[in-house]
Amino acid sequence: FQTTMDVAAEDSDQMPSGFHAKAAAKAARLRREAAKLASAAALESPGGIESRPGEWAPTQSKLLRRVAVAARPGHFELSLQYGPYSVAYDTTGRLLALCGRGGHVAAFEWRQKRLMFESQVNEPCHALTWVGAGSTPQLAVAHSNWTYIYDAQGLELHCLKRLHKANKLFWLPRHWLLAACTDTGHLHWQDVSTGQTVASYCGHHGPLRVSALHPDSGCVLTGQPNGQLCIWTPLEKRPVVKILCCPAGVRAVATAPAGHAVYTLGGDSRLRVWDIRCLRPLSVSDSGADAASIRLFDAAPQLAVSQRGLLACPVRQGAALMVLPAGGAKPLLSHPSPGRLSDLAFCPWEDVLAFGHARGLGSVLVPGSGEPNPDGAVHPLSGKRQRREAEVRGLLDKLPPETIAPPAVGGGVNAVDAEGIEEALARKRAAVMALPSDEVRQFQPRRRSGKASGELNRKVGERWQRRRMELRQLLKSKKRVLAEMGDEGADAAGGRKTKKAKKVSQSGELTKPATGTFLDRLIPKAD
Protein backbone atom coordinates (compact mmCIF):
# COMPACT_ATOMS: atom_id res chain seq x y z
CA PHE A 1 0.00 0.00 0.00
CA GLN A 2 1.06 3.60 -0.38
CA THR A 3 1.19 6.03 2.49
CA THR A 4 -0.15 9.56 2.35
CA MET A 5 3.42 10.87 2.04
CA ASP A 6 4.00 8.77 -1.09
CA VAL A 7 0.73 9.96 -2.63
CA ALA A 8 1.61 13.51 -1.75
CA ALA A 9 5.04 13.10 -3.28
CA GLU A 10 3.50 11.90 -6.54
CA ASP A 11 1.06 14.80 -6.66
CA SER A 12 2.80 17.83 -5.25
CA ASP A 13 -0.13 20.07 -6.21
CA GLN A 14 -2.13 18.68 -3.29
CA MET A 15 0.48 19.90 -0.74
CA PRO A 16 -0.28 23.16 1.00
CA SER A 17 3.15 24.63 0.24
CA GLY A 18 6.43 23.91 -1.50
CA PHE A 19 8.12 23.20 1.82
CA HIS A 20 5.79 20.29 2.53
CA ALA A 21 6.28 18.95 -1.00
CA LYS A 22 10.09 18.91 -0.60
CA ALA A 23 9.80 17.19 2.80
CA ALA A 24 7.54 14.52 1.35
CA ALA A 25 9.89 13.92 -1.59
CA LYS A 26 12.88 13.60 0.75
CA ALA A 27 11.05 11.11 2.97
CA ALA A 28 10.13 8.99 -0.05
CA ARG A 29 13.73 9.03 -1.32
CA LEU A 30 15.09 7.96 2.07
CA ARG A 31 12.53 5.16 2.23
CA ARG A 32 13.60 3.82 -1.18
CA GLU A 33 17.29 3.96 -0.20
CA ALA A 34 16.60 2.08 3.04
CA ALA A 35 14.77 -0.66 1.12
CA LYS A 36 17.69 -0.92 -1.31
CA LEU A 37 20.23 -1.22 1.54
CA ALA A 38 18.10 -3.85 3.27
CA SER A 39 18.00 -5.96 0.11
CA ALA A 40 21.78 -5.59 -0.36
CA ALA A 41 22.48 -6.53 3.26
CA ALA A 42 20.53 -9.78 3.04
CA LEU A 43 22.50 -12.77 4.33
CA GLU A 44 24.27 -14.71 1.64
CA SER A 45 24.37 -18.50 1.57
CA PRO A 46 27.80 -19.97 2.38
CA GLY A 47 27.75 -22.52 -0.42
CA GLY A 48 30.05 -25.52 -0.35
CA ILE A 49 30.80 -28.92 -1.85
CA GLU A 50 28.32 -31.80 -1.71
CA SER A 51 29.90 -35.22 -1.54
CA ARG A 52 27.94 -38.05 -3.14
CA PRO A 53 28.58 -41.74 -2.66
CA GLY A 54 30.73 -43.26 -5.36
CA GLU A 55 32.21 -39.93 -6.52
CA TRP A 56 35.76 -38.67 -6.13
CA ALA A 57 36.53 -35.37 -4.49
CA PRO A 58 36.79 -32.51 -7.02
CA THR A 59 40.20 -31.25 -8.06
CA GLN A 60 41.35 -27.65 -8.30
CA SER A 61 41.21 -27.69 -12.09
CA LYS A 62 37.50 -28.55 -12.01
CA LEU A 63 36.79 -25.90 -9.39
CA LEU A 64 38.59 -23.19 -11.36
CA ARG A 65 36.36 -23.87 -14.38
CA ARG A 66 33.17 -23.45 -12.33
CA VAL A 67 33.88 -20.69 -9.81
CA ALA A 68 33.47 -16.97 -10.43
CA VAL A 69 36.28 -14.91 -11.91
CA ALA A 70 36.63 -12.88 -8.69
CA ALA A 71 37.45 -16.06 -6.72
CA ARG A 72 40.20 -17.35 -9.00
CA PRO A 73 43.05 -15.27 -7.46
CA GLY A 74 42.78 -17.53 -4.41
CA HIS A 75 44.55 -20.35 -6.30
CA PHE A 76 48.29 -19.87 -6.83
CA GLU A 77 51.63 -21.54 -6.14
CA LEU A 78 54.99 -19.98 -5.17
CA SER A 79 58.23 -21.92 -5.54
CA LEU A 80 60.76 -20.76 -2.93
CA GLN A 81 64.07 -22.14 -1.73
CA TYR A 82 64.21 -21.22 1.98
CA GLY A 83 61.57 -23.62 3.30
CA PRO A 84 59.83 -25.15 5.09
CA TYR A 85 57.51 -22.15 5.42
CA SER A 86 54.95 -20.92 7.95
CA VAL A 87 51.98 -18.79 6.83
CA ALA A 88 49.57 -16.38 8.57
CA TYR A 89 46.60 -14.22 7.52
CA ASP A 90 45.60 -10.99 9.24
CA THR A 91 42.19 -10.56 10.90
CA THR A 92 40.65 -8.98 7.77
CA GLY A 93 41.95 -11.70 5.44
CA ARG A 94 43.56 -9.10 3.17
CA LEU A 95 47.26 -9.71 3.93
CA LEU A 96 49.28 -12.91 3.82
CA ALA A 97 52.71 -13.31 5.45
CA LEU A 98 55.25 -16.12 5.30
CA CYS A 99 58.55 -16.99 6.93
CA GLY A 100 60.97 -19.83 6.21
CA ARG A 101 63.52 -21.75 8.23
CA GLY A 102 66.15 -20.29 5.94
CA GLY A 103 65.46 -16.73 7.15
CA HIS A 104 63.12 -15.57 4.36
CA VAL A 105 60.34 -13.20 5.58
CA ALA A 106 57.77 -11.61 3.23
CA ALA A 107 54.26 -10.13 3.24
CA PHE A 108 51.92 -9.29 0.36
CA GLU A 109 48.29 -8.68 -0.59
CA TRP A 110 47.25 -12.02 -2.04
CA ARG A 111 44.32 -10.72 -4.12
CA GLN A 112 46.29 -8.13 -6.10
CA LYS A 113 49.60 -10.02 -5.66
CA ARG A 114 51.18 -6.76 -4.48
CA LEU A 115 54.37 -7.28 -2.49
CA MET A 116 54.63 -5.22 0.71
CA PHE A 117 58.16 -6.20 1.76
CA GLU A 118 60.64 -9.04 1.50
CA SER A 119 63.81 -9.50 3.58
CA GLN A 120 66.45 -12.06 4.53
CA VAL A 121 67.21 -12.11 8.27
CA ASN A 122 69.97 -14.74 8.04
CA GLU A 123 68.61 -16.89 10.87
CA PRO A 124 65.82 -19.47 11.15
CA CYS A 125 62.26 -18.21 11.62
CA HIS A 126 59.83 -20.59 13.31
CA ALA A 127 56.49 -18.74 13.67
CA LEU A 128 54.74 -15.48 12.80
CA THR A 129 51.48 -13.63 13.34
CA TRP A 130 49.95 -10.28 12.47
CA VAL A 131 49.76 -7.78 15.35
CA GLY A 132 47.14 -5.01 15.34
CA ALA A 133 44.21 -4.44 13.02
CA GLY A 134 44.60 -0.85 11.90
CA SER A 135 45.91 1.09 8.95
CA THR A 136 49.52 0.25 9.90
CA PRO A 137 49.67 -3.55 10.39
CA GLN A 138 52.68 -5.04 12.13
CA LEU A 139 54.18 -8.50 11.82
CA ALA A 140 55.65 -10.46 14.76
CA VAL A 141 58.24 -13.08 13.72
CA ALA A 142 59.84 -15.61 16.08
CA HIS A 143 63.54 -15.92 15.21
CA SER A 144 65.89 -18.57 16.54
CA ASN A 145 66.55 -16.61 19.75
CA TRP A 146 64.22 -13.61 20.12
CA THR A 147 60.98 -12.30 18.66
CA TYR A 148 60.99 -9.22 16.40
CA ILE A 149 58.17 -6.94 15.26
CA TYR A 150 58.28 -5.42 11.74
CA ASP A 151 56.13 -2.76 10.13
CA ALA A 152 54.44 -2.88 6.72
CA GLN A 153 57.73 -1.86 4.99
CA GLY A 154 59.81 -4.54 6.70
CA LEU A 155 61.56 -2.19 9.15
CA GLU A 156 62.37 -3.60 12.57
CA LEU A 157 60.38 -1.83 15.28
CA HIS A 158 60.88 -3.87 18.45
CA CYS A 159 62.96 -6.75 19.77
CA LEU A 160 61.16 -8.79 22.43
CA LYS A 161 63.97 -10.56 24.25
CA ARG A 162 61.56 -11.94 26.82
CA LEU A 163 59.98 -14.14 24.12
CA HIS A 164 63.05 -16.35 23.87
CA LYS A 165 63.08 -19.29 21.42
CA ALA A 166 59.36 -19.04 20.62
CA ASN A 167 57.86 -21.65 18.30
CA LYS A 168 54.21 -20.43 18.35
CA LEU A 169 52.81 -16.89 18.37
CA PHE A 170 49.16 -15.95 18.96
CA TRP A 171 47.44 -12.58 18.69
CA LEU A 172 44.52 -11.71 20.98
CA PRO A 173 42.75 -8.76 19.28
CA ARG A 174 40.25 -8.07 22.08
CA HIS A 175 42.96 -7.90 24.76
CA TRP A 176 45.84 -6.57 22.62
CA LEU A 177 48.09 -9.33 23.90
CA LEU A 178 50.79 -11.32 22.13
CA ALA A 179 51.01 -14.88 23.50
CA ALA A 180 53.99 -17.14 22.85
CA CYS A 181 54.95 -20.76 23.54
CA THR A 182 58.68 -21.48 23.63
CA ASP A 183 61.04 -24.40 23.28
CA THR A 184 62.19 -23.78 26.86
CA GLY A 185 58.73 -24.75 28.15
CA HIS A 186 57.52 -21.23 29.04
CA LEU A 187 54.36 -19.31 28.19
CA HIS A 188 54.48 -15.53 27.82
CA TRP A 189 51.79 -12.85 27.46
CA GLN A 190 53.04 -9.46 26.22
CA ASP A 191 50.85 -6.34 26.12
CA VAL A 192 51.46 -4.76 22.71
CA SER A 193 49.83 -1.42 23.56
CA THR A 194 52.01 -0.74 26.65
CA GLY A 195 54.98 -3.05 26.07
CA GLN A 196 54.67 -4.66 29.51
CA THR A 197 54.86 -8.39 30.25
CA VAL A 198 51.52 -9.48 31.68
CA ALA A 199 52.56 -12.98 32.72
CA SER A 200 55.35 -15.50 32.18
CA TYR A 201 55.04 -19.08 33.46
CA CYS A 202 56.85 -22.38 33.09
CA GLY A 203 54.85 -25.32 31.78
CA HIS A 204 56.99 -28.00 33.53
CA HIS A 205 56.43 -30.41 30.63
CA GLY A 206 59.35 -29.69 28.33
CA PRO A 207 59.16 -27.80 25.02
CA LEU A 208 55.66 -26.55 24.13
CA ARG A 209 55.57 -27.48 20.45
CA VAL A 210 51.85 -28.39 20.33
CA SER A 211 49.64 -25.38 21.08
CA ALA A 212 46.62 -23.44 19.87
CA LEU A 213 44.56 -20.38 20.80
CA HIS A 214 40.87 -20.40 21.67
CA PRO A 215 39.71 -17.11 20.07
CA ASP A 216 36.43 -16.84 22.00
CA SER A 217 37.90 -16.94 25.52
CA GLY A 218 41.53 -16.02 24.81
CA CYS A 219 42.97 -19.14 26.51
CA VAL A 220 46.05 -20.97 25.26
CA LEU A 221 45.78 -24.74 24.81
CA THR A 222 48.86 -26.96 24.91
CA GLY A 223 49.21 -30.67 24.18
CA GLN A 224 51.46 -32.76 26.39
CA PRO A 225 53.40 -35.97 25.61
CA ASN A 226 51.35 -37.84 28.27
CA GLY A 227 48.09 -37.27 26.36
CA GLN A 228 46.80 -34.32 28.41
CA LEU A 229 45.34 -31.13 27.00
CA CYS A 230 46.11 -28.15 29.29
CA ILE A 231 44.31 -24.79 29.24
CA TRP A 232 46.32 -21.76 30.41
CA THR A 233 45.37 -18.22 31.42
CA PRO A 234 47.64 -15.26 32.35
CA LEU A 235 46.32 -15.21 35.95
CA GLU A 236 47.24 -18.78 36.95
CA LYS A 237 50.69 -20.33 37.15
CA ARG A 238 49.21 -23.79 36.70
CA PRO A 239 46.77 -25.04 34.04
CA VAL A 240 43.21 -24.18 35.00
CA VAL A 241 41.88 -27.25 33.17
CA LYS A 242 43.47 -30.59 32.26
CA ILE A 243 41.82 -33.09 29.93
CA LEU A 244 43.11 -36.60 29.23
CA CYS A 245 42.07 -36.62 25.59
CA CYS A 246 44.47 -39.14 24.02
CA PRO A 247 45.87 -42.45 25.25
CA ALA A 248 49.15 -41.50 23.57
CA GLY A 249 50.81 -38.11 23.22
CA VAL A 250 49.01 -35.15 21.64
CA ARG A 251 50.53 -34.37 18.23
CA ALA A 252 48.33 -31.45 17.08
CA VAL A 253 45.62 -29.16 18.47
CA ALA A 254 43.22 -26.83 16.62
CA THR A 255 40.22 -24.75 17.70
CA ALA A 256 37.21 -23.53 15.76
CA PRO A 257 37.23 -19.73 15.21
CA ALA A 258 33.46 -19.49 15.75
CA GLY A 259 32.45 -22.06 18.37
CA HIS A 260 33.68 -24.19 21.24
CA ALA A 261 34.98 -27.26 19.38
CA VAL A 262 38.57 -28.41 19.97
CA TYR A 263 40.23 -30.90 17.61
CA THR A 264 43.09 -33.08 18.82
CA LEU A 265 45.29 -35.50 16.89
CA GLY A 266 46.86 -38.18 19.06
CA GLY A 267 49.81 -40.46 18.68
CA ASP A 268 47.42 -43.25 17.66
CA SER A 269 46.52 -41.23 14.49
CA ARG A 270 42.98 -40.61 15.73
CA LEU A 271 41.25 -37.27 15.37
CA ARG A 272 38.95 -36.42 18.30
CA VAL A 273 36.51 -33.54 18.76
CA TRP A 274 35.89 -32.05 22.22
CA ASP A 275 33.58 -29.39 23.63
CA ILE A 276 35.58 -26.94 25.73
CA ARG A 277 32.50 -25.80 27.67
CA CYS A 278 31.58 -29.15 29.23
CA LEU A 279 35.01 -30.82 28.73
CA ARG A 280 33.40 -33.80 27.02
CA PRO A 281 33.48 -35.29 23.51
CA LEU A 282 30.87 -33.85 21.20
CA SER A 283 29.49 -37.29 20.31
CA VAL A 284 30.04 -40.95 21.10
CA SER A 285 30.28 -43.76 18.61
CA ASP A 286 27.56 -46.36 18.35
CA SER A 287 29.62 -48.91 20.21
CA GLY A 288 30.20 -46.48 23.08
CA ALA A 289 33.83 -47.53 23.39
CA ASP A 290 35.49 -44.34 22.20
CA ALA A 291 34.75 -40.68 21.65
CA ALA A 292 33.95 -39.25 18.25
CA SER A 293 37.20 -40.08 16.50
CA ILE A 294 38.36 -40.50 12.92
CA ARG A 295 41.28 -42.66 11.92
CA LEU A 296 43.80 -40.69 9.83
CA PHE A 297 46.56 -42.92 8.52
CA ASP A 298 49.95 -41.29 7.97
CA ALA A 299 48.69 -37.93 9.21
CA ALA A 300 51.21 -35.15 9.80
CA PRO A 301 50.98 -33.09 13.03
CA GLN A 302 49.20 -30.03 11.57
CA LEU A 303 45.53 -29.06 11.81
CA ALA A 304 43.51 -26.04 10.71
CA VAL A 305 39.80 -25.24 11.18
CA SER A 306 37.84 -22.76 9.05
CA GLN A 307 35.12 -20.35 10.11
CA ARG A 308 32.42 -22.74 8.84
CA GLY A 309 33.89 -25.77 10.63
CA LEU A 310 35.84 -27.45 7.81
CA LEU A 311 38.98 -29.25 8.95
CA ALA A 312 42.23 -29.40 6.93
CA CYS A 313 44.99 -31.86 7.74
CA PRO A 314 48.01 -33.28 5.89
CA VAL A 315 48.03 -36.97 4.97
CA ARG A 316 50.53 -39.35 3.38
CA GLN A 317 53.27 -38.07 5.66
CA GLY A 318 52.58 -34.48 4.60
CA ALA A 319 52.63 -35.12 0.85
CA ALA A 320 48.92 -34.36 0.32
CA LEU A 321 46.21 -32.13 1.77
CA MET A 322 42.74 -33.28 2.80
CA VAL A 323 39.68 -31.23 3.84
CA LEU A 324 37.04 -32.88 6.02
CA PRO A 325 33.55 -31.63 6.94
CA ALA A 326 32.57 -31.10 10.57
CA GLY A 327 31.97 -34.54 12.06
CA GLY A 328 32.44 -36.39 8.77
CA ALA A 329 34.95 -39.00 7.75
CA LYS A 330 34.69 -38.66 3.96
CA PRO A 331 36.97 -35.94 2.56
CA LEU A 332 35.44 -33.12 0.56
CA LEU A 333 38.66 -32.07 -1.13
CA SER A 334 42.17 -33.38 -1.64
CA HIS A 335 45.19 -31.72 -3.17
CA PRO A 336 48.78 -32.94 -3.64
CA SER A 337 51.64 -30.86 -2.27
CA PRO A 338 54.98 -30.27 -4.05
CA GLY A 339 56.80 -30.70 -0.73
CA ARG A 340 56.23 -31.87 2.81
CA LEU A 341 53.55 -29.70 4.45
CA SER A 342 54.68 -27.60 7.40
CA ASP A 343 51.79 -25.19 8.13
CA LEU A 344 48.10 -24.59 7.29
CA ALA A 345 45.94 -21.47 7.54
CA PHE A 346 42.37 -20.69 6.38
CA CYS A 347 41.71 -17.19 5.11
CA PRO A 348 39.03 -15.30 7.12
CA TRP A 349 35.90 -14.32 5.15
CA GLU A 350 37.15 -16.15 2.05
CA ASP A 351 37.00 -19.72 0.70
CA VAL A 352 40.78 -20.01 0.51
CA LEU A 353 43.31 -22.25 2.27
CA ALA A 354 47.04 -21.42 2.32
CA PHE A 355 49.67 -24.01 3.13
CA GLY A 356 53.41 -23.83 3.53
CA HIS A 357 55.70 -26.65 2.54
CA ALA A 358 59.37 -27.42 2.10
CA ARG A 359 59.50 -25.95 -1.42
CA GLY A 360 57.43 -22.80 -1.05
CA LEU A 361 53.85 -21.66 -0.55
CA GLY A 362 50.54 -22.78 -2.04
CA SER A 363 46.92 -21.65 -1.93
CA VAL A 364 43.81 -23.62 -2.94
CA LEU A 365 40.08 -22.92 -3.18
CA VAL A 366 37.85 -24.57 -0.56
CA PRO A 367 34.18 -23.67 -1.24
CA GLY A 368 32.16 -23.19 1.92
CA SER A 369 35.10 -22.66 4.29
CA GLY A 370 34.81 -18.90 4.92
CA GLU A 371 32.00 -16.93 6.49
CA PRO A 372 30.20 -14.98 3.71
CA ASN A 373 28.74 -12.32 6.03
CA PRO A 374 31.50 -10.29 7.77
CA ASP A 375 30.72 -8.67 11.08
CA GLY A 376 30.86 -4.94 11.76
CA ALA A 377 34.07 -4.98 13.78
CA VAL A 378 36.28 -6.48 11.05
CA HIS A 379 35.45 -6.07 7.38
CA PRO A 380 37.71 -7.29 4.57
CA LEU A 381 36.68 -4.43 2.23
CA SER A 382 37.23 -1.60 4.73
CA GLY A 383 39.31 1.37 3.65
CA LYS A 384 42.36 2.93 5.25
CA ARG A 385 40.31 5.44 7.23
CA GLN A 386 37.94 2.76 8.49
CA ARG A 387 40.86 0.55 9.57
CA ARG A 388 42.40 3.48 11.44
CA GLU A 389 39.15 4.13 13.28
CA ALA A 390 38.84 0.42 14.08
CA GLU A 391 42.31 0.48 15.63
CA VAL A 392 41.39 3.43 17.86
CA ARG A 393 38.14 1.74 18.92
CA GLY A 394 40.03 -1.44 19.69
CA LEU A 395 42.44 0.40 21.99
CA LEU A 396 39.59 2.18 23.77
CA ASP A 397 37.60 -1.05 24.20
CA LYS A 398 40.61 -3.18 25.19
CA LEU A 399 39.70 -5.86 27.73
CA PRO A 400 41.90 -6.48 30.79
CA PRO A 401 43.73 -9.82 31.14
CA GLU A 402 41.41 -10.72 34.05
CA THR A 403 38.66 -11.51 31.52
CA ILE A 404 40.63 -14.43 30.04
CA ALA A 405 39.11 -17.64 31.42
CA PRO A 406 37.90 -20.89 29.86
CA PRO A 407 34.15 -21.21 29.32
CA ALA A 408 34.14 -24.32 31.50
CA VAL A 409 35.01 -22.18 34.54
CA GLY A 410 32.39 -19.59 33.65
CA GLY A 411 34.72 -17.13 31.95
CA GLY A 412 35.04 -15.69 28.48
CA VAL A 413 34.82 -12.17 27.20
CA ASN A 414 31.07 -12.10 27.81
CA ALA A 415 31.39 -12.86 31.55
CA VAL A 416 33.34 -10.04 33.21
CA ASP A 417 33.76 -10.01 36.99
CA ALA A 418 33.02 -6.31 37.45
CA GLU A 419 32.89 -6.49 41.25
CA GLY A 420 36.23 -8.28 41.48
CA ILE A 421 37.86 -5.74 39.16
CA GLU A 422 36.46 -2.84 41.22
CA GLU A 423 37.76 -4.41 44.45
CA ALA A 424 41.22 -4.94 42.94
CA LEU A 425 41.33 -1.32 41.75
CA ALA A 426 40.22 -0.10 45.18
CA ARG A 427 42.97 -2.11 46.92
CA LYS A 428 45.55 -0.78 44.48
CA ARG A 429 44.36 2.79 44.97
CA ALA A 430 44.50 2.42 48.77
CA ALA A 431 48.01 0.97 48.61
CA VAL A 432 49.27 3.80 46.41
CA MET A 433 47.68 6.61 48.46
CA ALA A 434 48.58 5.18 51.91
CA LEU A 435 50.92 7.27 54.11
CA PRO A 436 53.95 5.74 55.91
CA SER A 437 53.43 4.86 59.59
CA ASP A 438 55.11 6.76 62.46
CA GLU A 439 56.67 3.65 63.96
CA VAL A 440 60.39 3.09 63.49
CA ARG A 441 60.99 0.33 60.98
CA GLN A 442 62.81 -2.66 62.36
CA PHE A 443 65.79 -4.14 60.60
CA GLN A 444 64.70 -6.58 57.89
CA PRO A 445 67.48 -8.66 56.27
CA ARG A 446 67.48 -9.01 52.53
CA ARG A 447 65.91 -12.30 51.49
CA ARG A 448 67.61 -14.34 48.84
CA SER A 449 66.35 -17.16 46.65
CA GLY A 450 66.14 -20.50 48.39
CA LYS A 451 64.65 -21.60 51.72
CA ALA A 452 67.94 -22.53 53.45
CA SER A 453 69.80 -19.36 52.47
CA GLY A 454 66.84 -17.23 53.56
CA GLU A 455 66.73 -18.86 57.01
CA LEU A 456 70.50 -18.42 57.41
CA ASN A 457 70.34 -14.76 56.43
CA ARG A 458 67.56 -14.19 58.94
CA LYS A 459 69.57 -15.75 61.80
CA VAL A 460 72.72 -13.79 60.89
CA GLY A 461 70.72 -10.57 60.73
CA GLU A 462 69.18 -11.17 64.17
CA ARG A 463 72.62 -11.92 65.66
CA TRP A 464 74.11 -8.68 64.31
CA GLN A 465 71.08 -6.73 65.52
CA ARG A 466 71.53 -8.08 69.08
CA ARG A 467 75.26 -7.24 68.92
CA ARG A 468 74.53 -3.65 67.87
CA MET A 469 72.01 -3.23 70.65
CA GLU A 470 74.55 -4.52 73.23
CA LEU A 471 77.23 -2.12 71.98
CA ARG A 472 74.79 0.79 72.16
CA GLN A 473 73.84 -0.07 75.76
CA LEU A 474 77.52 -0.42 76.73
CA LEU A 475 78.39 2.95 75.19
CA LYS A 476 75.51 4.63 77.01
CA SER A 477 76.57 3.13 80.36
CA LYS A 478 80.19 4.29 79.88
CA LYS A 479 79.08 7.82 79.11
CA ARG A 480 76.82 7.85 82.15
CA VAL A 481 79.63 6.60 84.48
CA LEU A 482 82.13 9.15 83.15
CA ALA A 483 79.61 11.95 83.65
CA GLU A 484 79.08 10.89 87.29
CA MET A 485 82.81 10.65 88.01
CA GLY A 486 83.50 14.18 86.74
CA ASP A 487 87.01 15.58 86.63
CA GLU A 488 88.38 13.16 89.24
CA GLY A 489 87.44 10.25 87.13
CA ALA A 490 89.02 11.87 84.10
CA ASP A 491 92.31 12.55 86.00
CA ALA A 492 92.34 9.07 87.36
CA ALA A 493 91.85 7.73 83.89
CA GLY A 494 94.66 9.97 82.62
CA GLY A 495 96.96 8.89 85.48
CA ARG A 496 96.43 5.30 84.67
CA LYS A 497 97.34 6.02 81.08
CA THR A 498 100.53 7.89 82.17
CA LYS A 499 101.63 5.06 84.44
CA LYS A 500 100.99 2.68 81.63
CA ALA A 501 102.87 4.74 79.09
CA LYS A 502 105.97 5.59 81.20
CA LYS A 503 108.27 3.16 82.97
CA VAL A 504 110.72 4.25 85.73
CA SER A 505 113.79 2.22 86.59
CA GLN A 506 115.08 1.51 90.11
CA SER A 507 117.76 4.22 89.75
CA GLY A 508 115.09 6.85 88.99
CA GLU A 509 115.84 7.19 85.28
CA LEU A 510 113.30 6.81 82.54
CA THR A 511 113.87 3.84 80.27
CA LYS A 512 112.40 3.11 76.91
CA PRO A 513 110.07 0.19 76.61
CA ALA A 514 111.39 -2.95 75.02
CA THR A 515 111.17 -2.94 71.28
CA GLY A 516 110.48 -6.66 71.10
CA THR A 517 112.39 -7.21 67.85
CA PHE A 518 114.86 -9.88 66.80
CA LEU A 519 117.81 -7.41 67.45
CA ASP A 520 117.29 -7.65 71.22
CA ARG A 521 119.55 -10.70 71.30
CA LEU A 522 122.58 -8.45 70.47
CA ILE A 523 122.15 -6.29 73.61
CA PRO A 524 124.69 -7.36 76.34
CA LYS A 525 123.16 -8.74 79.47
CA ALA A 526 123.72 -6.88 82.75
CA ASP A 527 125.83 -8.66 85.45
* pLDDT tens by residue, 1-48: 344 444 444 454 566 677 778 888 888 888 888 777 666 555 566 677
For the stretch 328-364, pLDDT in tens is 667 888 899 988 899 999 999 899 999 999 999 999 9
pLDDT band at 486; cut points 50, 70, 90: low
For the stretch 54-100, pLDDT in tens is 677 788 888 898 888 888 999 999 999 998 999 999 988 999 999 99
Q: Which residues on adjacent β-strands are paired with residue 338?
A: none
Average pLDDT over residues 304-321: 85
Average pLDDT over residues 456-463: 75
> What's residue 44's pLDDT?
60
Write down the pTM of the prediction. 0.69
pLDDT > 90? residue 286: no
Return the higher-pLDDT residue of 385 and 214.
Answer: 214
Asked if omega into 380 is within 30° of 0 (cis), the reply is no
> What's residue 493's pLDDT?
43
The CATH number of 90-209+376-408 is 2.130.10.10
> What's residue 74's pLDDT?
92
- Which of the residue ranges 187-196, 274-283, 332-341 would you say has the lowest mean pLDDT? 274-283
> What's residue 305's pLDDT?
92
Q: How far apart are CA 393 and CA 128, in angstroms?
A: 25
Q: How far apart are CA 460 and CA 444, in angstroms?
A: 11
pLDDT > 80? residue 162: yes
The 3-state DSSP class for residue 195 equals: coil
> What's residue 111's pLDDT?
92
Return the higher-pLDDT residue of 485 and 391.
Answer: 391
> What's residue 8's pLDDT?
43
* CA atoms within a 13 Å half-sphere pointing along the CA-CB vector of 14: 9
Q: Which of 322, 329, 317, 320 has its CA nearest to residue 273?
A: 329
> What's residue 101's pLDDT?
94
Q: Which of 120, 129, 107 has its CA nearest to residue 192?
A: 129
> What's residue 177's pLDDT?
95
Average pLDDT over residues 197-206: 91
Average pLDDT over residues 173-189: 94
- Which of the residue ranges 130-134, 187-191, 243-247, 492-496 would you say has the lowest mean pLDDT? 492-496
pLDDT > 50? residue 436: no
> What's residue 405's pLDDT?
87
> What's residue 485's pLDDT?
62
- Which of the residue ranges 142-156, 331-345, 464-478 would you say has the lowest mean pLDDT? 464-478
pLDDT band at 413; cut points 50, 70, 90: very low
Helix (H) or strand (E) run with residue 353 in it? strand 352-357
> What's residue 433's pLDDT?
60
Average pLDDT value over all residues in the chain: 79
Beta strand residue intervals within 134-224, DSSP E: 138-143, 147-150, 156-160, 166-172, 177-182, 186-191, 197-202, 211-213, 220-223
Q: Exposed, middle or buried by CB within 10 Å (0-12, 13-18, 19+), for 221? A: buried
